[in-house]
Amino acid sequence: METAKKDIRALTKEQLREFFVNNGDQAFRGNQVYEWLWNKAAYTFEDMTNISKETRQMLEENFVINHIKVDQMQRSNDGTIKNAVRLHDGLIVESVLIPTAKRTTACVSSQVGCSLDCKFCATARLKRMRNLNPDEIFDQVVAIDRESRLYFDRPLSNIVFMGMGEPLMNYNNVLKAIDKITSPEGLGMSPKRIVVSTSGVPKMIKKMADDEVKFGLAVSLHSAIDEVRTSIMPFNATFPLKDLREALEYWYSKTKNTITYEYVVWDGINDTKNDADALIQFCKFAPSKVNLIEYNPIDDGEFQQANSQALDMYISMLEKNNITVTVRRSRGKDIDAACGQLANKS
Ligand code: SF4
């Protein structure tokens, strides 16, 4: 039965080599197949053209390649592309291609739904169904790279883990996927072009530092005042800012990598001078920069972007304190592909 077969991409290179030796072939055949799977991102065994027909048949009899399928692709007026991605068990996640003049960025999902309950986020309403496997994360990147080459005539240049789910709650699989994306035997992308964005899980930030990861770290901060942050990101009651601060200081001491704070300014929630002051103090704990992100209201409209005076106040206060600040316009709003909007609505 098809479903009883193992996904070949769950095997390490060593296990693939062993498989071939145990089946009367040579170990290097495992290397060839591994290259097809992770470097050439083969969809089927048929694609493996330098492998003999008999061997491909033998692989077919023993394994499957549970490749994702892009069920629906939507294109925004601004060029952004949103993929609704069907997984082998029928569940769906979303990933987004964001083109700018010089870059193509993939925003990928790490979980189906999310176990955290950020009040401003559409994904939070889906609840967490399961973690994505490393290959399911890898496949989202490959699909977007192919779209980037097709529609923009250039390869994918950057990846952000900012789609559905909290990547640090699926840490091992995210790391395995990044390994395949960055290793020369995989896609060979530089880890410097990858950013993992977390809502801030202190223990896991410390673990990343201990693991000496080479990719960047962004934290969805949104408030540096516990009371306010807990009201919009309830898990902050469990992981308060002092724990987050300690973890980020640890991260910087080990990696010397600047931290990016993602920050939305909402009307009536975090739009006062007091809020901006707290952010500035928080930024001083470890070298950091701030991305002020434009917000896209989700259905009930409870959260609304603050007015431009509030944004200008933040910008001028941050600049006066020599903290780099960038205003990030949201992309793909018309197809619900913008930050916080991913909710499998298509
Ligand atoms: S913002 Fe991120 S961590 Fe928070 S609920 Fe949405 S997907 Fe989960």
Nearest CA residue ID for atom 7, ligand 1: 165
Catalytic residue among 94, 136, 147, 262: 94
% pLDDT > 90, the chain: 84
Q: Is the CB of 126 under 6 A from ligand 1?
A: no
Catalytic residue among 107, 114, 121, 339: 339
Residue range 167-195: average pLDDT?
A: 96
- pLDDT confidence of residue 343: 66
Beta-bridged to residue 97, according to DSSP, are 81, 106
CB neighbour list of residue 110: distance below 8 Å, 6 or more residues apart: 131, 132, 137, 161, 163, 164, 165, 166, 167, 169, 170, 173, 174
Q: Is the CB of 113 under 6 A from ligand 1?
A: no
Q: What's the 268 CA to ligand 1 centre distance in angstroms?
A: 21
Q: Strands 259-263 and 6-7: what pairing?
A: unpaired
Please tell me the pTM assigned to this model.
0.92
Rounded to 5°, angle at Cα 162 from 160 and 306 = 115
The CA distance from 40 to 96, in Å, is: 22
Q: Is 60 marked active-site?
A: no
Q: Is 185 marked active-site?
A: no
How many angstroms separate the Cα of 20 from the Cα of each of 11, 16, 24, 27, 292? 12, 7, 6, 6, 52
The token pair that represents 284 in the structure block: 């001083």
The token pair that represents 253 in the structure block: 């001491």
CB burial of 191-200 (b: ≥16 within 10 Å; e: otherwise) equals bebbbbbbbb
User: How do residues 220-250 score in pLDDT, each as one tens digit?
Assistant: 999 999 999 999 999 999 999 999 999 999 9
The CA distance from 35 to 13, in Å, is: 9
Shortest CA distance to 161 belongs to which of 148, 174, 149?
A: 174
- pLDDT confidence of residue 338: 59
Beta-bridged to residue 262, according to DSSP, are 220, 291
User: How do residues 55-99 score in pLDDT, each as one tens digit?
Assistant: 999 999 999 999 999 999 999 988 999 999 999 999 999 999 999
